[in-house]
Amino acid sequence: DGGITQSPKYLFRKEGQNVTLSCEQNLNHDAMYWYRQDPGQGLRLIYYSQIVNDFQKGDIAEGYSVSREKKESFPLTVTSAQKNPTAFYLCASSVLQGVGENIQYFGAGTRLSVL
Amino acid sequence: ILNVEQSPQSLHVQEGDSTNFTCSFPSSNFYALHWYRWETAKSPEALFVMTLNGDEKKKGRISATLNTKEGYSYLYIKGSQPEDSATYLCASLRDSNYQLIWGAGTKLIIKP
């Protein structure tokens, strides 16, 4: 089935540790996005990428890093510099066609907690 | 950063009743307005994308309208069913760079 796969579903981070969240898509979409969700808030953009080997910071990029070595994959690393990493993380992808037409398709999310 | 506001935050509706809720967004530099449905333990799924003032879109019992001049969109659900229980998110396209600014959502609970 075509779609977006995020793993793991749950992740625990120890103090000072970097952790990586996986996001893979087989939709052949050019654009991929990482969002963070906190209770009572809208999804906030961490990073996005529109082409392989290129990515842009979103509104809350500090303490996070990404790579886009393959079209299908857009892993997110939560570094030790992110002091409040506990949140639900969603990965999404979309085609790039005409401004406004880019419906985003989402994975099932990763819930990250700090030990 | 654009602010997208949704109201109410949550809503309890009796099965069979109709309901609606609101998404407000800045009307300047408008590109598009997206609606998504997010059921518990599932991924958000797109309902509608609207770009033109006065747009009305419909999918089954769910419909949406758009007023870009005053910066609001309504989502309507006719004859609510238990499967309509979900969080409904709206998002405004902030610029031509395909970035969406999201509201916090309206959580809809249908009471049987």
**Residues of chain B with C-beta less than 8 angstroms from the C-beta of A44:** 102
Chain A residues with CB-CB distance to B104 below 8 A = 40-42
pLDDT of residue A70: 97
Question: Would you state the pLDDT for residue A18?
Answer: 95
pLDDT for position A97: 74
pLDDT digits (tens, 9 = 90+) for B26-37: 988 888 999 999
- Average pLDDT over chain B reads 93
**What percent of chain B has a predicted confidence (pLDDT) above 90?**
84
* Confidence (pLDDT) at B94: 78
* Range with lowest mean pLDDT among A64-78, A96-110, B24-38: A96-110
- Nearest CA to A10 out of A91, A66, A86 is that of A86
Asked if A87 contacts A36 with a C-beta cutoff of 8 angstroms, the reply is yes
Q: Which of A25, A97, A103 is the mutation pick for testing B, counting most B CBs within 10 A?
A: A103
CA distance A100 to chain B (A): 5
* Residue B73 pLDDT: 98
pLDDT (average), residues B86-101: 87
CB-based contact, B40 to chain A, within 8 Å: no
